[in-house]
Structure 1
């Protein structure tokens, strides 16, 4: 289980770093970020399924859909990427269902907590805003990610998901950086007006 959490954290951190490099005009890093997020989501989906964290599972299903959509929308060859991601996903879900069958779903203690649910809701909304072509809307995604990750640092600490906690701490930095890069012109304009 630890390897799934670690892989999820590594790919999430890589995806967040790539995401933070995107600008109003250069969205190519977002394409590679979505690929990393897809890998992270597949790892973390299995991890949180076996841990019984229902809000995280819901979030990761939406994140998976968002990463899938993001890869296709930001791709130079959408049809090819759609087919590749679809094949990978089918193979993954067959393996996951097989593993779940042998583990026995009744041995997993499922729970829904308000803190997890709040963070998951913000992250889900942010994930879909991130694939927007409008940079102002994408900037709202970074604000929601920042707030969600503040909560996730606490969730990771209180559940002893230390890789997840480290990942969330890193996301605080990338959310700020992503917002700054996306809104660079608007921020400069704001400070020009403020300090004239």
Structure 2
């Protein structure tokens, strides 16, 4: 579905009026990133999730890439842990990845950065599939498969994956709502 007004300034203005984030960063003429995203109730969005056994952390950021009158939803994902053998510096990000701040929490610095991209008009099944193929299939993120909790109905739930998909889906819907 094409954007009603594909002008980046107009898109940025609509995102700001919808109060989706503390700041909308314009990286260039085609890329916007939500810095300090807010939840629907105006509180700061929890954009970190940590595995309770391995201390691996995932940080999420959201953005938009405009191309003509089409728009892609972007999910910037940082992975950090306590292994100090390799840490990403801001200078190591390439191309559009540079628009995303390297998120970190506590004492962990990012070890990897992943960028998931899909059309903003994608439905929830397509979003889940894009995250599964572009992110969850990464061998370095295998720890996500061990983050399992039992829900109140007694079912085993892969809670970290569920958290990532749910946060991405909610933000994508909120962005769509303010733009269309």
Greater fraction of residues in helix = 1
TM-score, reference length from structure 2: 0.31
* Structure 1 length-normalised TM: 0.29
